[in-house]
Amino acid sequence: MRTFRGKGAPAGPSHLQWRVEEEAEGACLADYLARQMLLDGEDARDLIDFGSVQIGGRQERDPGRRLSSGQEIRVYRPWGGTRRFYDIDPARILFRDRTLFAYDKEPGIPSQQTPSDAYNNLFAAVIRHVSKEGGKAPYVALHHRLDRETSGVMVFTLDRSANRRLGDAFQRHEVKKEYLAWVQGRPESDEWIGSEDIGRKDGRYCTCPRGRGKSAETLFRVLHRDADRSLVSAMPLTGRTHQIRLHLAAAGFPVLGDRLYSGRPAGRLYLHALRLRLAHPADGSELTLTAPVPADWPPPRPEP
């Protein structure tokens, strides 16, 4: 495993930043970073290839890029090093044809690249997997995302001609989503709708009164109640960031393991994208994609 030790310690900022000096005009990006960060050339090139470097706010993967005076360079620190550890598990592929690729995402894996890591994410792993089939560079499009700690169904298009049709279906909320969540507490109602708007405050997502943020609705159904927790089904009618987690927290039943929104500590975030129902973008046939309940989920306790 290769790590990098730039100037500063892990307690410092999430990224390093420079403005290219006049005397560095025309310098090679890898050479410039090696000097600034006290790295050897190989480590600087590896950091660039890993996706941790941005020029002017855009990721730069070319170590030979020539720099211009005044450009802003950022390096987002991959504290675990540039270790390439993630590839998809073929056993978790839920569906595959010439048009669609569906996968049961593991918890702890980002849906797409992060500022410090363009390798260890599901989108990049799907591209690598499809590339192994040979031929020209594959076309893979991402239409929706799951939070890093959320597991379950994700679907990608593999055919450019189907891309717009599936994108439009997500935009019009024609793709029906169902999640499972273990939550704290025992809701009295068997069914309710979370309808608080979703907004941002102090850099974080939050619920707010209707009309004060982006409209959001989630249908919840209680499937099982234990003494201090409940298993619920969540069907988002809109697609806002952290919508299910926020609506459950606002109702007083945060997801177990959701420390961001006051959930009780647990071994993981107990939120799972169980099912997607959609019209196949190639022929319009109804398609249901289901990710099995994770093996590490606690079973409901028997009724007393």
Reference 162, options 246, 283, 259, 8; nearest CA is 283
96: its two tokens: 């595959």
Interstrand relation of 218-225 and 229-236 (parallel, antiparallel or unpaired): antiparallel
The terminus-to-terminus CA distance of the chain in angstroms comes to 51
Run of H or E residues at 207 = strand 204-208
Write the single-letter amino acid at 234: A
Where do the H-state alpha helices sit in the chain? Answer: 29-37, 41-49, 122-131, 160-171, 243-250
DSSP state of 128: H
Backbone angles phi, psi at 91, to 5 degrees: -70, -15
Let me know if 190 is a catalytic residue.
Answer: no
Amino acid, res. 174: E
Token readout for 204 is 């974080």
- Amino acid occupying residue 244: I
The catalytic position among 43, 147, 168, 296 is: 147
Which residues are identified as catalytic?
A: 147
